[in-house]
Amino acid sequence: MLFTCVGMCRLYRFGYQVVDEGSGASPPSFYFCRWCRDNINCYANTEFMNIGITVYPTYGGSGIVGSELGRDLAERGHNVHFISSVLPTRVTQLGERVHFHEVEMMSYPLFEHQPYDLALATKMATVMRSEKLDLLHVHYAIPHSISAILARESIKQKRYVPVITTLHGTDITLVGADRSYLPITRYGLQQSDGVTAVSRFLKSATIETFDFDEIEVIPNFICALYYKRLEDSPLRAELAPNREKLLVHVSNFRAVKRPIDCVEIFAKVREQGEKVRLVMVGDGPERSAAYYRAEQLNVKDDVLFVGKQANISDYLGVSDIFLLPSELESFGLAALEAQACELPVIATRIGGIPEVVNDGETGYLSDIGDIDKMTLDTLKLLRNDDLRRAFGQKGRELAIERYSTDKIIPQYIAFYEKIVNKAESAAA
Ligand code: GMT
């Protein structure tokens, strides 16, 4: 059921956001959203912004973060314009304040490779002007920040639109640090009006590699209403018909995620006689190798490759332990989502993971490839229900306390305001 807030915003129209019903005769006659209830003047002085957002629409954590950020900003009253090649997968609904501008590619026999970066820059410049954007926020440095800077420069005589770049991880740790991409990535950072990184680790890595330090850390976030335990879901019985415990892994199955390690850990846990199954959610280049390893280790019937799923929370919400044996993880959004669903996390002690997972409190961390330790940690949690539940509850508590949308989205809004004001002062 949808409600319209009667507070200052008169905007919020999501049933789950309603926290306060009007008293008096039933049925209740009016509703406040949580912001208007908490601060009746919250929107009185707010100037809603026109915000452009560019993400990789179909692949990876940066696309998820950018899309969910846009959705949340629109729910808070801002106008959001997604600019990308296709509608980002997590943007399921366009509406009054969520718009999509498709980057059109011109095919011409002379172009051996179609120049996407230029087509993107052209669309960005068009939208900057037509929608009077206050800022353009791009996720993942390569090539998005370069296209955005080109767009900004091409129209700046008419309108100056500040560019904000959010660094997500492999844009810095792998792609940006490749010698051939390093100078252009550094240029993208220097020329952006504002730069954010998703973890303290990524900020340090950027300083080290690019000698650039004007970076604000704004971490990944979760909606705790969406990511939660689903005790009564029929999916649990489907995945575990004989009441097995469920290990789960979610990723895009790139080599950096080491999905084969999940299969190795699972096979070793099974050797110890545990009644357990492994659910592998997602798809990508390493999926067939992981499947092959499961066949070799004779466990394939209990390793369920369920492919890409629209609602990851359905799977996390019914599982028992989350495996993330990655080689590199600038933050580890999947670990955060798992913790919000009360899953203890077995992960590697790399990148930003220690900022998200408290070793010995919400999960256990190991060196990369230390299958034996990860197996022992998994067994410890499987065999002790109280310990597993305590880890799970602490994980959710910390996830909400540190990374809920209500905590993180306002940080982005404050950063936007700072950058827009700075650009306005510079122009005055
Ligand atoms: O590796 C991925 O899953 C994709 C990559 C991306 O940029 O799309 O994810 C990165 O961004 C996520 C969201 O900020 C982070 O939570 C992931 O840790 C990060 N992945 C890596 O650093 C490998």
Q: Does one domain contain both 239 and 380?
A: yes
φ and ψ of 163, to 5 deg: -110, 130
Tens-digit pLDDT string for the chain (428 aa):
455 555 555 454 443 344 444 444 444 444 556 565 555 444 444 578 999 999 998 878 899 999 999 999 998 889 999 999 988 877 777 878 899 999 988 777 777 778 899 999 999 999 999 999 999 999 999 999 999 999 999 999 999 999 999 999 888 887 777 788 899 999 999 999 999 999 999 999 999 999 999 999 999 999 998 999 998 899 999 999 999 999 999 999 999 999 999 999 999 999 999 999 999 999 999 999 999 999 999 999 999 999 999 889 999 999 999 999 999 999 999 999 999 999 999 999 999 999 999 999 999 999 999 999 999 999 999 999 999 999 999 999 999 999 999 899 999 999 999 999 999 888 87
| Atom 2 of ligand 1: nearest residue by CA position | 60
- Beta-carbon-side half-sphere exposure of residue 65 (alpha carbons within 13 Å): 29
- Residues 132 and 160: their CA atoms lie apart, in Å, by 10
- Residues 340 and 148: their CA atoms lie apart, in Å, by 34
Residue 246 in contact with residue 240, Cβ under 8 Å?
Answer: yes
Q: Does one domain contain both 72 and 18?
A: no
Closest approach atom of ligand 1 to CA 140: 7
Tokens for 233, please give them: 């879901």
Q: Does one domain contain both 57 and 155?
A: yes
Cα 380 to averaged position of ligand 1 atoms, centre (Å): 29
| Atom 7 of ligand 1: nearest residue by CA position | 62
Q: Does one domain contain both 30 and 14?
A: yes
Contacts of 181 (CB under 8 A, 6+ apart): 142, 175
Total of domains in the chain: 3
Cα 150 to averaged position of ligand 1 atoms, centre (Å): 25
Cα 27 to averaged position of ligand 1 atoms, centre (Å): 46
Query: Which amino acid is present at 395?
Result: G
Residue 166 in contact with residue 138, Cβ under 8 Å?
Answer: yes
Cα 169 to averaged position of ligand 1 atoms, centre (Å): 5
Crossing angle of the two packed helices 333-340 and 61-75, in degrees rounded to 10? 60
Cα 330 to averaged position of ligand 1 atoms, centre (Å): 6
Residue 69 in contact with residue 49, Cβ under 8 Å?
Answer: no
Closest approach atom of ligand 1 to CA 166: 14
Neighbours of 74 (CB within 10 A): 23
Determine the residue of 55, 56, 170 to mutate for testing ligand 1's pocket, defined as the one with the most ligand atoms within 8 A of the Cβ atom: 170
3-state secondary structure of 346: strand
Q: Does one domain contain both 238 and 112?
A: no
Cα 365 to averaged position of ligand 1 atoms, centre (Å): 18
Please report whether residue 279 resides in a domain: yes
Q: What share of the chain is helix, strand, coil (3-state, %, to 5)?
A: 45, 15, 40
**pLDDT for residue 45:** 45
- Domain C-terminal end among 27, 46, 65: 46
| Atom 12 of ligand 1: nearest residue by CA position | 61
Closest approach atom of ligand 1 to CA 198: 14
Biggest alpha carbon distance in the chain? 72
Crossing angle of the two packed helices 405-427 and 385-403, in degrees rounded to 10? 20
| Atom 1 of ligand 1: nearest residue by CA position | 60
> β-pairing, 345-348 with 79-84?
unpaired
| Atom 14 of ligand 1: nearest residue by CA position | 168
Residue 22 in contact with residue 30, Cβ under 8 Å?
Answer: yes
**pLDDT for residue 104:** 87
Determine the residue of 69, 84, 168 to mutate for testing ligand 1's pocket, defined as the one with the most ligand atoms within 8 A of the Cβ atom: 168
User: Could you tell me which of 73, 70, 72 has the C-alpha nearest to residue 87?
Assistant: 70
Please report whether residue 57 resides in a domain: yes
Please report whether residue 100 resides in a domain: yes
Closest approach atom of ligand 1 to CA 330: 22
Determine the residue of 333, 339, 356 to mutate for testing ligand 1's pocket, defined as the one with the most ligand atoms within 8 A of the Cβ atom: 333
The dihedral sign for the CA sequence 408, 83, 5, 340 = negative
Cα 111 to averaged position of ligand 1 atoms, centre (Å): 31
User: Could you tell me which of 70, 17, 79, 13 has the C-alpha nearest to residue 46?
Assistant: 79
Cα 33 to averaged position of ligand 1 atoms, centre (Å): 32
Please report whether residue 120 resides in a domain: yes
Please report whether residue 227 resides in a domain: no
Please report whether residue 87 resides in a domain: yes
Q: Does one domain contain both 166 and 67?
A: yes
Please report whether residue 226 resides in a domain: no
Q: Does one domain contain both 248 and 382?
A: yes
The position carrying tokens 């209990």 is 302
Which alpha helices (H) appear in 175-252, and where do they start and end? Answer: 182-191, 200-210, 234-239
Q: Does one domain contain both 267 and 305?
A: yes
Name the pTM for this structure.
Answer: 0.88
What DSSP letter does each residue of 245-282 carry, written as one string?
A: EEEEEES---GGG-HHHHHHHHHHHHHTT--EEEEEE-
Cα 335 to averaged position of ligand 1 atoms, centre (Å): 11
Instruction: Kindly report the CATH number assigned to the domain that includes residue 288.
Output: 3.40.50.2000
- Residues 245 and 319: their CA atoms lie apart, in Å, by 7
Q: Does one domain contain both 126 and 266?
A: no
Residue 117 in contact with residue 123, Cβ under 8 Å?
Answer: no
User: Could you tell me which of 11, 10, 13, 12 has the C-alpha nearest to residue 2?
Assistant: 13
Q: Does one domain contain both 383 and 274?
A: yes
Range of the domain at 261: 234-403
Cα 198 to averaged position of ligand 1 atoms, centre (Å): 9
Residue 323 in contact with residue 329, Cβ under 8 Å?
Answer: no
Q: Does one domain contain both 190 and 242?
A: no
User: Could you tell me which of 34, 356, 50, 396 has the C-alpha nearest to residue 223?
Assistant: 396
Tokens for 72, please give them: 């949340």
Determine the residue of 58, 62, 337, 355 to mutate for testing ligand 1's pocket, defined as the one with the most ligand atoms within 8 A of the Cβ atom: 62
Cα 127 to averaged position of ligand 1 atoms, centre (Å): 27
Contacts of 108 (CB under 8 A, 6+ apart): none
List, chain by chain if needed, residues with CB within 6 Å of any ligand 1 atom.
Answer: 60-62, 65, 140, 168-170, 198, 220, 252, 256, 328-333
Cα 331 to averaged position of ligand 1 atoms, centre (Å): 7
Residue 334 in contact with residue 352, Cβ under 8 Å?
Answer: no
Cα 357 to averaged position of ligand 1 atoms, centre (Å): 16
Q: Does one domain contain both 125 and 169?
A: yes
Closest approach atom of ligand 1 to CA 331: 18
Please report whether residue 229 resides in a domain: no
